[in-house]
Amino acid sequence: MLINFRKYRSVLLILLALLLVAVGASGLYGWHLYHEVEQRFSGRRWSIPSQIFSDALLLYPGMRIHRPSFSNKLHRLGYRPVKHVPRTRGEMRSTGTAVELFLHDLQLPDDRREGFAVRLRFDRQALVALTRIPSGAPLALVTLEPEQLGFFFGPEREKRELIAIDQLPPWLTGAVLTAEDSRFFEHFGLDWRGIGRAFLANLRSGSIRQGGSTITQQLAKNFFLTSDRTLARKWKEMLLALVIEWRYEKTTILEMYLNEIYLGQNGSVSINGIGEASRFYFGKPARDVTIAEAATLAGLIKSPNTYSPYVDPDRCRQRRDGILGVMHRHGLISAEDYDSARRADVQPAGFTPHPNAASYFVDYISGQLSELYAPEDLASLGLSIYTTLDTQVQEAAETALEKGLARIEAGMPGAVDPAAPREPLQGAVIVMKPQTGAVLAMVGGRDYRLSQFNRVVQARRQAGSTFKVFTYLAALDTHTPISALSNRARTYTVNGKPWQPRNDSALDTPVISLREALAKSVNRATVDLAMQVGMEKVVQTAELFGFSTPLEPYPSLSLGAVDVAPIELARAYCVFPAAGLLPVPIGLRDVYDENSQPLERRHMQVRRIIPPNRAFLMTSLLRSAVLQGTARGLADWGIHFPVAGKTGTTNNSRDAWFVGYTPDILILVWVGYDSGASIHASGAGAALPIWAELARAIPHQITGGDFGIPPGIEERIICSRDGFADFGGTCPETMPEWFLEKNVPEDSALFYHPDSVFKRLMQKFKGTVDDF
């Protein structure tokens, strides 16, 4: 039977026209997709969250180490215990007095090295030897990598470590191809066998159950499409796959895929890419995974939360072994490797939830970064942000504060019903390097989850007796540590109203030396000194230290009746151990881009505000506060190395302070209620024990050395009872005293007499009321 084409000519022409239109439309749409692919892949392919890192830790023979804190640090860095001598990166073995580590690779922008095995030998809290394994060669210094403190995520909250395909072992790429697309290098983006198989399965089920997607199609879907199972979405996916294959080489497509795929979840953060998954599941870079681990990772791609070794190890193993079998049949691994890999246990490295360490400090750094970078840049540019934080000091500060606050609450009057709702007691801690201003730790409150208010930076609390140091510093031009001050009750007129300072302790001696007055925090003697010096000079001296709070020349200022930010008070005290240099607090150190090129480098900023000899004399006075004064309780808390410092307690015990320092480190502790209610404790009783517990836990930051004596300081022997120089050698009890070179006592007629100071002062102080 012959077909009459003339009869169907018009129909054929219509069909041909429609076909041409469809081909033309597909061509135009393909051209559009080409530009869409080109634009998406030619720029930044992934938004890489910027990472915040702590400072690195330098290990060297002779340093002191708090072993429990050091063990916690190794755990946070991903070192996992093994029973054998460490053989691969991240393995660790403890053998009593020694710790053996196979170090991770160090990848700092200015310091890179491959990992190697090392043995650390301890004698109590001292690291006595550092040697290579197995040679035993001694090492002078080893750098332990920084810890991740946090990330700046975009809305997707994706975390990935980009890898280059030429750095991966062949069994890893082979395992992925085996699991997802064994004919990847044979097709042009579409695998018609797979499509036919999926078509028959979908036809039998009456719905879309299988997609038959190649790796290229999966890449197209992840980058450009939603996960909806529709024919229109599938058609676009196929066109995109063809465009991608036409535009890019196979190895480039595979590399993009390996960096893109979703492989699990760590809390609210998604694990994307083989590089990040290798670290999350096995604690090692992708280039170091074994054949068994490679097959495990490849098996996750199908359904990460179903086959996760953290969720269901047995199902994970079955999936892994199935992939290993196919790899063996296809000749990708030998029979020996196959048997060895199948016998290997499924042993994930273990993980901790996404780090939320040093949250107050991270917020502090974020505030500085917001002045330099937009939020979207921090969430996408993959910056590496290095800070000054010492995580061991941070951990010790958080622990000491929490234990100290709980201890105070347990001893509070009226705490009969622990279940009764009440305001939580709060505290703040900051630890700094005085000479550089580096912030080693910052705890802005008791629990960041309940309160993000950073009391170190944002709070303004009355300074109390910690502010007295500026009155004593202002007096050093005209007074010495043995200068006599009045401790008698006196009334001053302030703005036309009478004001009388009172002492906190029952110190009834009418006369007291300048050194003892500061050591014992005597209010009346301090105000007397301020009146002698002049309040204007006290204000001028305090203003040198950069307080943001306005300072008014009232007598109460000498006793600390002024609100200050704890970070500003800590900075001010840094001047004394730093030989008169006022540092700028530094938390942010360096910022590098994803190619390890520096974008921002912060150097220490200091300026001299007082001479070194005056700074030393103030330290000497504050040493007396620790040895004989209000901070003498430090010895009861196990602090026996040289410390200088000052306690502080405000009216009605609303605030409790202790600021203490060594030649190496300064620690400020504040305790109080946000509402200003009384804590029923002093600085010595509330803040000082927290300081001591923290200091004992960070021996690697405290050498135990004494304060150096600068030029311009002279020592003299004085009578300890009356405080005058023992020129005649007739004093039964003497003590050394420090003086500024220009203020050394020269009165050779002064000899020991028990009433000498008292008689002189009774002649000097005759009035009871001074007008201010």
The residue extents of the domains of the chain are 1-43, 61-140, 158-343, 388-463+562-707, 468-561, 713-771
Burial class (CB in 10 A: 0-12, 13-18, 19+), 351: middle
**Model pLDDT, residue 246:** 78
Tell me the range of 194-203, 364-373, 580-589 where mean pLDDT is highest.
580-589
Cα–Cα distance for residue pair 605/238, rounded to 1 Å: 59
pLDDT at 1 over 60: no
Spelled out in words, what is the top-level CATH class assigned to the domain 468-561?
alpha beta
Work out the mean pLDDT of the chain and round it to a whole number.
Answer: 85
Block residue for tokens 């550089």: 436
Nearest to 689 by CA among 405, 293, 327: 405
Identify the pLDDT of residue 698.
97
Which residues pair with residue 591 across a beta bridge?
Answer: 385, 600
* pLDDT attached to residue 718: 84
pLDDT for position 219: 81
Around Cβ 750, how many Cβ atoms within 10 Å?
18
Burial of 453 (0-12, 13-18, 19+ CB in 10 A): middle
pLDDT band at 13 (very low <50, low <70, confident <90, very high): low
Of 25-34, 353-362, 648-657, the one with minimum mean pLDDT is 25-34
Q: How many CA atoms lie within 13 A of 761 on its CB side?
A: 18
- Domain 158-343 sits in CATH 1.10.3720.10: no
Least confident span in 169-173, 314-318, 421-425: 421-425
pLDDT score recorded for residue 593 = 85
Tens digits of residue pLDDT in 602-642:
777 789 999 999 999 999 999 999 999 999 999 999 999 99
CB 216 within 8 A of CB 246: no
Each residue's pLDDT tens digit, 691-733: 999 999 999 999 999 999 999 999 998 876 655 555 555 677 7
Domain 61-140 has CATH 3.90.700.10: no
Residue 416: pLDDT band with limits 50, 70, 90: very low
The CATH superfamily label for domain 388-463+562-707 reads: DD-peptidase/beta-lactamase superfamily (3.40.710.10)
- How many residues are recorded in the chain? 772
Contact between 23 and 133 under an 8 Å Cβ cutoff? The reply is no
Read off the tokens for 309.
């070794």
- DSSP class of residue 381 equals B
- Give which of 487, 485, 515 is closest to 501, Cα–Cα: 487
- Can you tell me the mean pLDDT for 379-405? 93
**Which is more confident, 420 or 195?**
195
Give the relative orientation of helices 170-180 and 250-260 as an angle to the nearest 10 degrees: 80
Helix axes 170-180, 215-224, angle to 10 degrees: 80
Top-confidence residue, 207 or 384: 384
The pLDDT score that the predictor gives to residue 602 is: 73
pTM, entire model:
0.82
3-state secondary structure of 509: coil
**Percentage of the chain with pLDDT > 70?**
83
Question: What pLDDT score was predicted for residue 772?
Answer: 32
209 pLDDT more than 50: yes
**pLDDT value of position 750:** 36
Pairing of strands 491-494, 769-771: parallel
- The more confidently predicted of residues 64 and 199 is 64
pLDDT digits (tens, 9 = 90+) for 523-532: 999 999 999 9
Mean pLDDT of 328-332: 92
- Token readout for 64 is 């002191």
User: What pLDDT score was predicted for residue 25?
Assistant: 61
The reported pLDDT for the residue numbered 729 is: 58
The predicted pLDDT at position 765 comes to: 38
pLDDT of residue 35: 60
Query: What does the DSSP assignment read for 56-117?
Result: -EEE-TT-B--HHHHHHHHHHTT-EE-SSPP-STTEEEE-SSEEEEEPPPEEETTEEE---E
Q: Which residue numbers are catalytic?
A: 180, 465
Q: Residues 75-103: what's their mean pLDDT?
A: 92
How many Å apart are CA 720 and CA 733, to the nearest integer? 6
Fold match flag (388-463+562-707 vs 468-561): yes
Could you tell me which of 670, 653, 664 has the C-alpha nearest to residue 708?
Answer: 664
Q: Which tens digits make up the pLDDT trace of 256-274?
A: 889 888 898 887 778 889 9
Please give the Cα distance from 180 to 4 (Å, whole number): 51
